[in-house]
Structure 1
Amino acid sequence: MLVTDTQALRPTGVPEALVAPLPGRGDQIEMRAHLLGTRIDMRSLAGFGDPETVELQGAGAFVFRYGAVVLVGATPAEEARILAHVAPHAVDPPASPEIETARIELRDDGEETVSADGRIRLREATPERLLLAATVLARSVVLARDEMRIEDAFDRIEPLLTEMREHGRAHLPIRQIMRQIGSVLSAQHRVVGRARIGEKPDLLWEHPELDRLYGRLEAEYELGDRTRTIERKLEMLGDSAEWLLDLVQDKRSLRLELSVIGLIAFEVAIGLYEIASRWPH
């Protein structure tokens, strides 16, 4: 259920995540991450509180400011209700849903790790452990969205580059190029800025004992490798878009210069005509 005393649980700032408690449901916990938008306005989101102060009983709904909602141990009815509650606060919702799932297995023996079949093995479902697992899954679903958008961007820009290579020229609509540059900058802001996927979660400053678990989760979901790949592709896209924009600007400059030359030639022709008309025949 959602927290009712929101004022007592509302943090003073805007943290990476807020949480609402859900009833715990045994040793096998399903975790589902939904991408609702590029960001979620959590300042106006009622019913969620700071993970450091909200008491969890082995399950919860985590909302991340960079657009993801992770349900840990939620029933289908609870999941639908929470998503409907959070969705109006999401900005720029995706055209198609982006969902990732994982399963948490509670075992009080052995190491906390990821099994060969992808299960996240935890000794206990403490709030900080659930938040850490939810953070990794949230970042993974954000990366999945950006990976798809970057591939779409390559698909849009490739025909222009191919036309330039084969014919030495291309139709270069300025609006399309500017949208391309805007998409690149937006993706860079999400990966490097808002989601901070390349950085360790702030949670580890308070719970350094979970650093090894985070390393294993990060490796399982390849957050570091995927982030570096995205950054390289973003750099390539940015360079290509800027190059195409320079071509557009050069073409516009050439047209302007030709127009000026044409006007000068026209004025010269008029002047010559006037001189010739006054010349005695």
Structure 2
Amino acid sequence: MTSIPKVTLNNGVEIPQLGFGVFQVPDRETAAAVTAALRAGYRSIDTAAIYGNEAGVGRALAETGLPREELFVTTKVWNTDQGYDSTLKAFDASLAKLGLDHVDLYLIHWPAPRRGLYLDTWRAIERLVADGRVRAAGVSNFQPAHLRRLLEHGSLVPAVNQIELHPGLQQAELRALHAELGIATEAWSPLAQGAVLGDDAIVSIARRHGRSPAQVVLRWHLQLGTIVIPKSVTPARIQENIDVFDFTLADDELAAIAALDRGLRTGPDPDALN
């Protein structure tokens, strides 16, 4: 079974660098997908209230037989639940669906700046950390201005900012700010929903290593130091995505992938979604 390296977050909590995402996985299929991932060696599972599959994740976790301390579970508060009291209520609902007494990482899913509530939401998450129900507090899709406002008014520095990140959208400015502030970068849509897998540079590198284009892109993320959460419901693909720790990309290959940045978003603009 693959041994996955861990990243130490700014509060000392360790997160596996490669995890398993369940975005767009129907709840009825989620337990089987998560079970396959756990059998393959994944120990970090990333879900969200809006995905509608926290219960499916919970069923898989309940049946796995693995000790809770070996698992790392992330979920997120949705935009319409932002605000202090409503975040605490939403967290209780997520925890009940997951069947857990705590989560390892709780994220504000989007800044939703026009709602103007993410500071109140952050205060609620800080309380959940203080109460021991959340091990690490983080955000998702926060831009530099959102992060700076949070740091100005909050008492905790986010442990993680989970952002859209892949060869077509490399977010260099945001990643540099993360490094400056001690915030770990976590990539969602790490394969750009397949949109970068046909790029000539990636295909060429894959052939050179005898790997799939997806494995090359995941390896690129890992060598950047990014935490990455690929998603699949296919057992063979789930296994393929974790088999990325026994080869290394050379400097010229990393440079070729760096040249693919083209501002390609597969998801919404964080300043526009509310």
TM bucket, shorter chain: under 0.3
Instruction: With a CA cutoff of 8 Å and minimum separation of 6, indicate the structure with the bigger relative contact order.
Output: 2
Question: Which structure: greater helix fraction?
Answer: 1
TM-score (norm 1): 0.25
